Structure 1
Amino acid sequence: MLVEQRKWSKNENWKILSNHQLGDRANLVFVFGSTTLVQDQKRFDEIRTLYPKAEIVVSSGSGEILAGKVEQHTLNVTAIHFEKTQIKTLEINLADVKDSFDAGAHISAQIEKDNLSNLLIFSDGKEINGSHLLTGLQFNLSESVPITGGLAGSYDPFAATYTGLNTIGKTGKVIGIGFYGSHIQIGYASQSGWTPFGPERFITKSTNNILFELNEEPILDFYKKYLEGLFVNIEEAIRMFPLGIKAENGNERIMRSFLSYNPENGGAQFAGEMPEGIKVRMMRSNINSLLDSAEEAAKNSVIPFKSSPPDLALCVSCSGRQFILQDWIDQEVEAIVLGLGSPIPVTGFYSYGEIAPQAKNQKSELHNHTMTITTFKELA
């Protein structure tokens, strides 16, 4: 497995960041960038000219992870040559299916399952219900096949997000990449660095990912009770203190990040499912905890690679972590590099949702506010 990385920026144009120049040997290319640049046909045509035989997967983000730091307003390009591993891709248009579950079910039904080692997913982050998508993805797949990836992001939380397969980024697309054979080895990990505080509450009124009431109390009143006076804008307070829903194992909390509040109906939109009857608690974190969790995720992602390091680390972090880290955002990527323990290529983006199993041998979950890492190695 060979990896080539390069980036495009307005000031530097194309800049090569690795020794390999794969050309028509590349069979998979990841392109992560701003919503504007992933829609730029000229830039896409340049990438297609560089890698004429590759499957090109495009996703927007609220920041691009490359070369040990976080970039903005760039195109982050990672080209891969697999020698012995087969990949297969497919794309679902949300306009062609009934709902998010149906989109996932179509992918899991259509993708070839013989010798499938891992399914990587990149999806529109605004038009999708990520929890329903993941349920559909798992509908026709064995639980032994890990699903990792993430939902596209945007610098503007109210703007559209974009993904694409062999085209510029577009809205409403879900991309699946299957990896096949015994020569590909996959590692994964997801860590949040958040801890619960305050009373536990039941969700008593919600619709999918729109939360209205906790213990029959309007969601905004709940937050005001504990946080009013600490923040000028209560919506900012909700972003600083997201909710954690109790996982199936009863020990962990799955993070749910706040997206927006609708004063007309009193509903708070979160990035994942908020089912009625589930217990939730407010969550809190700080810069040190987030950096430690990023390093821990990196360490856990390389555990399967005992004899030699992986060939690539794909990082999908949450845009909500950016909100906390602010000027410390580069330190999160530095923590990943430290945790990986070896100088391997790192790529990724900041998302509206991260997909990975909570732990080994568990089914994949939709996460928020986590650093999620998928590591790849092709065995001889």
Structure 2
Amino acid sequence: MKVTQAVKEAKQPFKILSGENHTLKEPLVLVFGNRFALEDGNLFSEVKELFPGGHIVFGSTAGEIIEDSVRQGSVSLTAIEFEKCSFVIKNRNVSDIDDDHLLGEAILKEFPKEGLKHIFLISEGSSVNGSALIGGFEDARINHIGLSGGLCGDDDRFERTLASYNESAKEGEIIAIGFYGESLEITSANYGGWTPFGPERIITKSKDNVLYELDDHPALDLYKKYLGDKAKELPTSALLFPLSVRINEKEEPLVRTILTIDEAANTMTLAGDVPEGARVQLMMATVDDIVDAASVAAQYAMDNRKNEPELAILISCVGRKLVMDQRTEEEVEEVISVIGSRAAVTGFYSYGEMAPFTGQEACKLHNQTMTLTLFSE
């Protein structure tokens, strides 16, 4: 595996951090960046000039992870040439099929199944129901195919997110990268570190990822009551107090972040499904909790690996970044201390993370977690 990494600051050309772009023939090129930077019409041609044969995937972020640093307002680039393995990329737009579950099924069915080991998703994050999208993949999945990835971000603005494959970044795109090869080892894991507090309430009215009522009372009113003065800063302040959603006693609770609120309807739209009958609690975390959780996630991803990772894609949540503030890089440094310094590290801060719980096969949508996908040939 050969890897080249570069960064681009505002109005500056790409600066190569490691590797040589001219030695990579048809690499997978992951370009993560601030939404405003990705709106620059010249960016695609600039990347194409660096990697003429590259398969270029864009995704907007709430912060860029590259090497051991976290950047803001920049563009990060990681180009990977696999020496023994191959990949196939498929993309769809949410406007193609008006059902996120069916959209997930349709995308997976486009992939040749022989030799397919893992799919990594980079999805638009402002309108898609992430858990429904994953559910579609899970229903169509065969042969223990792994699934991980993340929802694109837009800092804490929640205005619009962008993604694309081999064209300028645009709204509504879902990019799926399928990896093939016997020698390819891919593991993924996640962990959050958030602690529930306050009373547990029952979801008494919801539809998909829209939450209407808790204990037969308007959910938004109750949430604002707990937030106090911070309610004026919604939906941004909701990132500091996500919801723990326990669907049944046999499964791990899922963490859900509020993406938007509707004052007129008194509802909250979350990044994934919140089914009626599920139990909900508010959550909170400290900086130390988040750093420790990043270490746990890395340890889970490293469990039972046969080879040291050569590439690590880190997807962390914008809510974690807001809590950590000036100490954000500590969780990235903690991950590197566990996975080793050999791996090229890239990734971004997201509106949702995708990975299985440790010891399980089925992928889930998470919020407020550190999620790792580790590759080696």
Alignment match, 2:96: 96
What does 1:167-178 correspond to in 2, within 5 Å? 167-178=167-178
The TM-score normalised by the length of structure 2 is 0.94
Taking only aligned residues, the RMSD between alpha carbons, in angstroms, comes to 1.9
Q: Percent identity?
A: 37
> How far does residue 51 in structure 1 lie from its aligned partner after superposition?
1.4
Alignment match, 2:65: 65
Alignment match, 2:334: 335
The TM-score normalised by the length of structure 1 is 0.93
Q: How far apart, in 2, do the equivalents of 1:143 and 1:212 lie?
A: 38
Checking the alignment, whether the CA contact within 8 Å between 1:296 and 1:339 is kept in structure 2 is no
- Per-residue CA deviations over 1:15-57 (Å, capped at 9, x if unaligned) read 1111343544242110000112223232211211221222111
What does 1:113-128 correspond to in 2, within 5 Å? 113-128=113-128
Checking the alignment, whether the CA contact within 8 Å between 1:356 and 1:364 is kept in structure 2 is yes
Alignment match, 1:210: 210
> How far does residue 180 in structure 1 lie from its aligned partner after superposition?
0.9
Residue identity in the other structure for 1:310: P
Tell me, what secondary structure is at the counterpart of 1:273? coil
Residue identity in the other structure for 1:291: V
Tell me, what secondary structure is at the counterpart of 1:265? coil
Change (3 A) 1:345 1:297: same
Tell me, what secondary structure is at the counterpart of 2:95? helix
Q: How far apart, in 2, do the equivalents of 1:63 and 1:30 lie?
A: 14
Checking the alignment, whether the CA contact within 8 Å between 1:315 and 1:373 is kept in structure 2 is yes
1:240 aligns with 2:240: yes
Q: How far apart, in 1, do the equivalents of 2:91 and 2:180 lie?
A: 18
Q: How far apart, in 1, do the equivalents of 2:249 and 2:80 lie?
A: 37
> How far does residue 368 in structure 1 lie from its aligned partner after superposition?
0.6
Tell me, what secondary structure is at the counterpart of 1:49? helix
Q: How far apart, in 2, do the equivalents of 1:35 and 1:112 lie?
A: 32
Q: How far apart, in 1, do the equivalents of 2:237 and 2:41 lie?
A: 39
| Number of positions where the alignment pairs a residue of Structure 1 with one of Structure 2 | 377
* Gaps in structure 1 of 5+ consecutive residues: none
> How far does residue 360 in structure 1 lie from its aligned partner after superposition?
3.0
Bigger mean CA offset, 356-365 vs 168-177: 356-365
Residue identity in the other structure for 2:290: L
Q: How far apart, in 2, do the equivalents of 1:365 and 1:265 lie?
A: 28
- Per-residue CA deviations over 1:161-203 (Å, capped at 9, x if unaligned) read 0000011111011111101121110011101011222222111
* Gaps in structure 2 of 5+ consecutive residues: none
Alignment match, 2:285: 285
Change (3 A) 1:247 1:65: farther
Alignment match, 1:256: 256
Checking the alignment, whether the CA contact within 8 Å between 1:23 and 1:50 is kept in structure 2 is no
